[in-house]
Amino acid sequence: MNFEELKKFTFELIEKIENSGIECVSVEFEQTKISVVNSGRLLTSSVATENAYSSSAADTAPAAFTAANKNTVNAPMVGTFYRAPAPDAKPFVEVGDKICKGETICIIEAMKLMNEIESDKSGVVKEILVQNGDVVEFGQPLIVVE
């Protein structure tokens, strides 16, 4: 699927769930994943390619984070944590928001690249554990989801 087809598909998907009772939809094909979240106040979408980090990287996580709560979304890399896409923009998530697996929850800047970080679980955001601009470590819990 080329970029124009992907763009058209994403807009059609957003249009179809916009007025429905569906809260979130995730579609995966080849190495592309599209997540659309309808939170009632804002409709967002996130398109990502398959994560380049191997699952064996978890073995190298710092000891302080290896026993992280299974209800947390953890940093997949070291970098600077940002809650919003721009300084004057609304944060991706707030406490009390419903989120879906695959939804963008923050940005981590690493090596001058802005990496959108997606939730690996669905639920309600109970707590945001990191402050905007904080440096985060691999495996560090970022948010609590129930």
pLDDT in tens, 3-30: 677 778 777 877 777 777 777 777 777 7
Please give the pLDDT value at position 136: 93
Cα 146 from Cα 88, distance rounded (Å): 28
Please give the pLDDT value at position 40: 55
Q: Helix, strand or coil for residue 82?
A: strand
pTM greater than 0.75 (yes/no): no
Looking at the fold, whether 103 and 145 belong to one and the same domain comes out as yes
Any domain includes 16: yes
Looking at the fold, whether 81 and 139 belong to one and the same domain comes out as yes
Please give the pLDDT value at position 14: 74
Looking at the fold, whether 76 and 141 belong to one and the same domain comes out as yes
Report how many domains make up the chain. Answer: 2
Any domain includes 55: no
Looking at the fold, whether 75 and 144 belong to one and the same domain comes out as yes
Please give the pLDDT value at position 57: 41
Looking at the fold, whether 80 and 135 belong to one and the same domain comes out as yes
What is the residue type of 58? A
C-alpha separations of 134 from 40, 79, 84, 89, 95 in Å: 30, 8, 13, 18, 18
CATH number, residue 109: 2.40.50.100
What domain range is 8 assigned to?
A: 1-50
Q: Which are the contacts of 34, defined by CB distance < 8 A and separation ≥ 6?
A: 6, 9, 10, 13, 26, 27, 28, 45, 46, 47
Cα 15 from Cα 2, distance rounded (Å): 20
Conformation bin of residue 142: beta by default, left when phi > 0, alpha when psi is -120 to 50: alpha
Looking at the fold, whether 100 and 39 belong to one and the same domain comes out as no
Looking at the fold, whether 38 and 82 belong to one and the same domain comes out as no
Looking at the fold, whether 45 and 91 belong to one and the same domain comes out as no
Please give the pLDDT value at position 63: 42
Looking at the fold, whether 32 and 64 belong to one and the same domain comes out as no
Please give the pLDDT value at position 65: 45
Please give the pLDDT value at position 51: 43
Looking at the fold, whether 32 and 84 belong to one and the same domain comes out as no
Q: List, for the chain, all residue ranges whose pLDDT scores fall below the cut of 50.
A: 41-45, 49-68
